[in-house]
Structure 1
């Protein structure tokens, strides 16, 4: 096992966590400001690219042994980002805007699963709140996150179906 530092994280784990926090905050900000994550805004671009970096740095973390569920989630996240990008460029037909919303919202959800898992199984240091990633409480929390995702995507799709134009502001500095 690699030596650990801040909060029991390796150097790569610390970088990975910092990048993921940027992605999460960009995603929250984009959702609050534009009601969606899209590459048509700077916030969406920051979210997507920091999420890609989060996945790539995560592939080098083997704190729990070899390739595991977090690595599989990283691959699924990259696929969701690719689908979102294709849809955002209109490459997936008439339903592209809906597919984009579903895909980017899924990649946003995928940040929260390891965030809660790692936080609740690591903190407080020496006496974490949950004993393992298999704790029933985490499974319940994942179900709640899934339900919130369904509600959020439903609201996004309703908004996209509305009569008013829904494209966010054009990309500009500071967006």
Structure 2
């Protein structure tokens, strides 16, 4: 792994840890919290640095995922800050931020699983059926988490934020 790749990975790990911390502590990711802000900006930095990594010679699926993540982040941020979607804005923000956390899992699992353990990696590559199954389980976890977050919002529970 190149030094730039290590830097990108470190940023991504910080973002994921911040996102999980926000979910555990506040039950949602929001930029009104310090963990949410760290997640947001870490994810932006992860996507931007990821756009400069070319494993197979050119623009590919990982780059599309990075751009998609940036678009979803932007929509979630606008929904959170400007209530662009009216009464649905908080739902759009919460589910959008959670979706981007799921997006982190795809390259994270793919790249880590293709390298670890050294000499006998867990996955042969992006097409490995086991990897696809693990990503599928992560998607189910996202769906359940999004549903729980939606139910929490519908119950009228506000975000309890720290500065």
Could you tell me how far apart the structure 2 residues matched to 1:74 and 1:161 are?
31
In the alignment, is the contact (CA less than 8 A) between 1:40 and 1:168 conserved in 2? no
Structure 1 stretches of 5 or more lacking a match? 1-8
Q: Name the structure 2 match of 1:154.
A: 147
Q: Name the structure 1 match of 2:56.
A: 64
Q: Name the structure 2 match of 1:6.
A: none
Aligned pair 1:135/2:128, yes or no?
A: yes
Under a length normalisation based on structure 1, what TM-score does the superposition of the two structures give? 0.89
Could you tell me how far apart the structure 2 residues matched to 1:101 and 1:161 are?
12
Offset from partner CA, 1:101-147 (integer Å, 9 cap, x none): 11000011111111111111111223322211110111111111111
Partner secondary structure for residue 122 of structure 1: coil
What's the CA shift for 1:150? 0.5
Moved more, 30-39 or 91-100: 91-100
Under a length normalisation based on structure 2, what TM-score does the superposition of the two structures give? 0.95
What's the CA shift for 1:24? 0.6
Structure 2 stretches of 5 or more lacking a match? none
Aligned pair 1:17/2:39, yes or no?
A: no
Aligned pair 1:119/2:112, yes or no?
A: yes
Could you tell me how far apart the structure 1 residues matched to 2:140 and 2:121 are?
26
Number of matched residues? 162
> Which of the pair has more CA radius of gyration?
1
Two-structure CA RMSD over aligned residues (Å): 1.1
Could you tell me how far apart the structure 1 residues matched to 2:150 and 2:117 are?
39
Consecutive aligned runs of 4 or more in structure 1 exceeding 4 Å deviation:
none
Partner secondary structure for residue 131 of structure 1: coil
Q: 2:30 aligns with which of 19, 34, 38?
A: 38
